[in-house]
Structure 1
């Protein structure tokens, strides 16, 4: 498939796909006329890249994970990738824990506010 179809299937703009290639996150085959060609694995890869970027990983960190998305990256690369994965997992876990705590606090405020408004709306108050 060409870049336009990959863009349509993944929701990533053509510009983003070119950026992913510039950063080494995505590698396309090139036709003799220089057109980019992609396959189904690229659809999956772009989905992962977009999910990681949305979660706050840098393109550099994602680049360290990319080799482990393929078979047999080698021990040195796998160790470096594991360190990045572990670091990012801890960062995401802390962020999720913070979001859960904020949601719980907000839930409590919502209940308090609803009770307050219900009291105001009772006849005779």
Structure 2
């Protein structure tokens, strides 16, 4: 399947498909004419990539977990390695969010404590 066919089959732009290939998360063979040729499983792979991107995983992480096979076949939602990595990212995100919340609270307190007082009425 060529890039245009894969794009039409998945609704993903050729530019994005080339990006996925550059990131090492989608593979294509090159014909003697230089055209990309994707395997029959490429639409499923692209769907998995899109699903993983949609939950916020970076392409580096997708490259690590994409080859994972769950008990029911290539279903990333049941892959223990993927689930562990997603839990790790969630926990890191929660810690970062808590730290940002503490910083925001401290900034708000500082502003409240240091606001110029309005002069009392005349």
Q: CA RMSD in A?
A: 2.7
Q: Which structure's residues are more often helix, by fraction?
A: 1
What is residue 3 of structure 1 aligned with on the other side?
A: 3
Matched ranges for 1:79-98 at <5 A: 83-89=81-87, 91=90
Q: Quick one: distance in 2 between partners of 1:23 and 1:82?
A: 23
- How many matched pairs? 84
Q: Deviations along 1:71-106, whole A, 9 cap, x unmatched?
A: xxxxxxxxxx955531304629x99xxxxxxxxxxx
Matched ranges for 1:46-125 at <5 A: 46-69=46-69, 83-89=81-87, 91=90
TM-score normalised to the size of structure 2? 0.60
Instruction: Say if 1:10 and 1:16 are closer, same or farther in 2 by CA, change over 3 A.
Output: same
Segments of structure 2 that go 5 or more residues without pairing to the other structure are: 70-78, 95-122
TM-score normalised to the size of structure 1? 0.58
Segments of structure 1 that go 5 or more residues without pairing to the other structure are: 70-80, 96-125
